[in-house]
C-alpha cells in the first residue's frame, strides 16, 4: 500500500501559486494596455489622413509661414516608441506589483499550510488564529482551527480511553494468572472453587470486551436509522432486568406514552438497558426503587431513569460518564462491572445528536434524563 504522504515528493516541481498569480496579473495588465492602444487606433488614429509627404516644419520666407499638418505616419513615428516604452513599464510594474500583491494575498494560505504541516507531524495544539475581517481565507482558517481542536480532543480522549482499557483488561488477566499460580502451588485444592472464580473473571473480561466494541460502534455512527418508540425501549429494558431487580429487592416502575424518535433500535435498546441496569445495581438494596419514564416534549422526547441510592454531589454526577469511573458509595456486588455503562450511554446519545443530563436526587440517588429529537409525524 502506497503512503499518501510520499505522493507530493513524487510529483514534478511546478510553478508556485504566487508566481502563477504574478504572471496572471502582469498578463492581464499587458492585455489591458494592448486593448487601450487598440481603442486609440480604432477611434483616433484611423481617422487621421495619411498625407503623401511631410509638411514643412518652419515658415517660408517668400510665401509667409506655413502651418504644420502632421499625417498618420508622423503620429505613428512619434507614438510607437512611447508605446513600446510604456508596454515595458507596464510589464515591469505588473510583475513587481503582482508579486507583492500575490504575496500579501497568499500570506494566510502560507500560515494555513504551516499549521497543516505541524498537524501532520503530530502537533495538534497549534492554532492559526487568523486576524482581520471575514473572507474565504479566514473562513478556511477558522474551520481548520475547529478541526484541530476536535482532533486534539478526540486524540486525547482516545489515548485516555486506550490507557484505561488496557488497565481494565489487564486486571482480569492478572487475576487469572494469580489463580492459576495458586492452583499450581496447591494441587490438592478443590478445583471447583478455582473453576468458579475463573468463570467469574472470564465473564467480566467478556463483558468488558463487548462494552468496548459497543462503545467503538457508537463512536463511528455506523448504523441504520429507524423509527424507535422510547416507551417500548423502557418497557423491554425493565422486563429484561426485572429478575435482577427482584433479586436485589429493588422495586422497578415504568410509565410513559408513545415517544417516537429516529435512531438505531439496537443501540437505543442498549442505552435503556444500561441506564436501568445502572440504576438497579447502584441502589440501596432492599427497599430501593427505580422509576423509568418516557415522555414527549414538543420536538424532543425524553427517557428518564431515577433511582434511590447513596448521596452524591453535582460534581460527582457530572463525572460519572467518564469511562471506567465507578461512583463512590455504590453497592458492592460480585460483578462490579466495567465502569462503562454511563460512558456507553453518553456515546450512544451523542451518536443520535441528543443530550444526557445527570442530576443528584434529594435524599440520595441519581436522576438520568436522555433527550433526543422526536420523529417527524407521518
The tens digit of pLDDT for each residue in 78-94 reads 777 877 888 888 888 88
Query: In the prediction, which pLDDT does 335 show?
Result: 38
Helix (H) or strand (E) holding 300: strand 300-307
Query: In the prediction, which pLDDT does 263 show?
Result: 87
pLDDT at 10 over 70: no
For 300, residues 6+ apart whose C-beta sits below 8 A from its C-beta are 371, 372, 373, 374
The tens digit of pLDDT for each residue in 24-48 reads 888 888 888 888 877 777 766 666 6
Question: Which residue is listed with cell 414538543?
Answer: 298
pLDDT at 334 over 50: no
Residue 277 phi, psi (nearest 5): -65, -45
Neighbours of 291 (CB within 10 A): 17
Residues 306-335 have a mean pLDDT of 68
User: Residue 240 — pLDDT band, cuts 50, 70, 90?
Assistant: confident
Distance from C-alpha of 121 to C-alpha of 367, rounded to nearest angstrom: 44
CA dihedral sign of residues 109, 110, 115, 120: positive
pLDDT at 290 over 70: yes
For 275, residues 6+ apart whose C-beta sits below 8 A from its C-beta are 237, 292, 303, 305, 341, 342, 345, 368, 370
pLDDT at 303 over 90: yes
The tens digit of pLDDT for each residue in 336-362 reads 445 567 877 888 888 888 999 999 988
Per DSSP, 63 falls in state T
Least reliable range by pLDDT among 13-17, 51-55, 294-298 = 51-55
Give 237-273 as a DSSP string: HHHHHHHHHHHTTEEEEEEE---EEEE-HHHHHHHHH
Query: In the prediction, which pLDDT does 328 show?
Result: 46
The torsion region of residue 136 among left (phi > 0), alpha (psi -120 to 50) and beta comes to alpha
Residues 324-336 have a mean pLDDT of 44
For the chain, the average pLDDT equals 77
pLDDT at 292 over 90: yes
Greater pLDDT, 76 or 288: 288
Distance from C-alpha of 129 to C-alpha of 96, rounded to nearest angstrom: 29
pLDDT at 102 over 60: yes
Greater pLDDT, 302 or 225: 302
User: Residue 329 — pLDDT band, cuts 50, 70, 90?
Assistant: very low
Residues 106-135 have a mean pLDDT of 80
User: Residue 64 — pLDDT band, cuts 50, 70, 90?
Assistant: low
pLDDT at 128 over 90: no
Residues 319-327 have a mean pLDDT of 67
User: Residue 71 — pLDDT band, cuts 50, 70, 90?
Assistant: low
Greater pLDDT, 165 or 295: 295
* Whole-prediction pTM: 0.53
Query: In the prediction, which pLDDT does 333 show?
Result: 37
Amino acid at each position: 500500500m502506497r503512503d499518501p504522504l510520499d505522493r507530493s515528493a513524487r510529483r514534478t516541481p511546478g510553478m508556485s501559486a504566487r508566481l502563477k498569480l504574478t504572471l496572471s496579473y502582469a498578463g492581464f495588465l499587458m492585455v489591458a494596455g494592448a486593448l487601450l492602444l487598440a481603442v486609440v487606433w480604432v477611434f483616433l488614429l484611423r481617422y487621421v489622413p495619411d498625407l503623401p509627404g511631410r509638411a514643412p516644419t518652419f515658415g517660408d520666407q517668400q510665401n509667409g509661414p506655413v502651418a504644420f499638418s502632421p499625417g498618420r505616419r508622423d503620429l505613428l513615428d512619434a507614438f510607437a516608441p512611447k508605446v513600446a516604452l510604456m508596454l515595458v513599464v507596464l510589464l515591469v510594474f505588473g510583475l513587481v506589483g503582482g508579486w507583492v500583491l500575490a504575496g500579501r494575498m497568499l500570506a494566510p494560505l502560507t500560515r494555513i499550510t504551516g499549521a497543516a504541516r505541524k498537524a501532520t507531524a503530530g502537533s495538534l495544539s497549534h492554532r492559526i488564529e487568523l486576524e482581520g475581517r471575514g473572507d474565504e481565507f479566514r473562513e478556511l482558517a477558522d474551520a481548520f482551527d475547529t478541526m484541530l481542536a476536535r482532533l486534539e480532543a478526540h486524540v486525547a480522549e482516545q489515548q485516555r480511553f486506550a490507557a484505561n482499557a488496557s488497565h481494565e483488561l489487564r486486571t482480569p488477566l492478572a487475576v487469572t494468572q494469580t489463580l492459576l499460580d495458586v492452583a499450581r502451588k496447591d494441587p490438592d485444592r478443590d478445583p471447583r472453587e478455582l473453576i468458579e472464580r475463573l468463570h467469574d473473571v472470564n465473564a467480566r473480561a467478556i463483558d468488558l470486551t463487548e462494552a468496548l466494541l459497543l462503545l467503538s460502534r457508537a463512536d463511528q455512527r455506523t448504523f441504520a436509522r429507524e423509527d424507535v418508540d422510547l416507551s417500548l425501549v423502557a418497557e423491554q429494558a425493565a422486563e429484561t432486568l426485572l429478575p435482577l431487580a427482584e433479586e436485589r429487592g429493588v422495586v422497578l416502575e415504568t410509565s410513559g406514552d408513545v415517544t417516537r424518535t429516529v435512531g438505531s433500535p439496537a443501540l437505543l435498546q442498549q442505552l435503556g438497558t444500561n441506564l436501568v441496569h445502572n440504576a438497579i445495581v447502584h441502589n440501596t438494596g432492599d427497599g430501593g426503587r427505580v422509576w423509568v419514564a418516557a415522555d414527549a416534549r414538543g420536538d424532543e422526547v425524553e427517557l428518564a431513569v431515577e433511582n434511590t441510592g447513596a448521596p452524591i454531589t453535582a460534581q460527582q454526577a457530572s463525572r460519572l460518564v467518564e469511562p471506567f469511573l465507578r461512583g463512590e458509595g455504590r453497592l458492592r456486588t460480585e460483578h462490579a462491572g466495567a465502569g462503562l455503562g454511563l460512558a456507553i450511554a453518553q456515546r450512544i446519545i451523542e451518536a443520535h445528536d441528543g443530550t444526557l443530563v445527570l442530576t443528584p436526587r434529594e435524599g440520595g440517588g441519581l436522576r438520568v434524563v436522555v433527550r433526543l429529537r422526536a420523529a417527524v409525524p407521518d
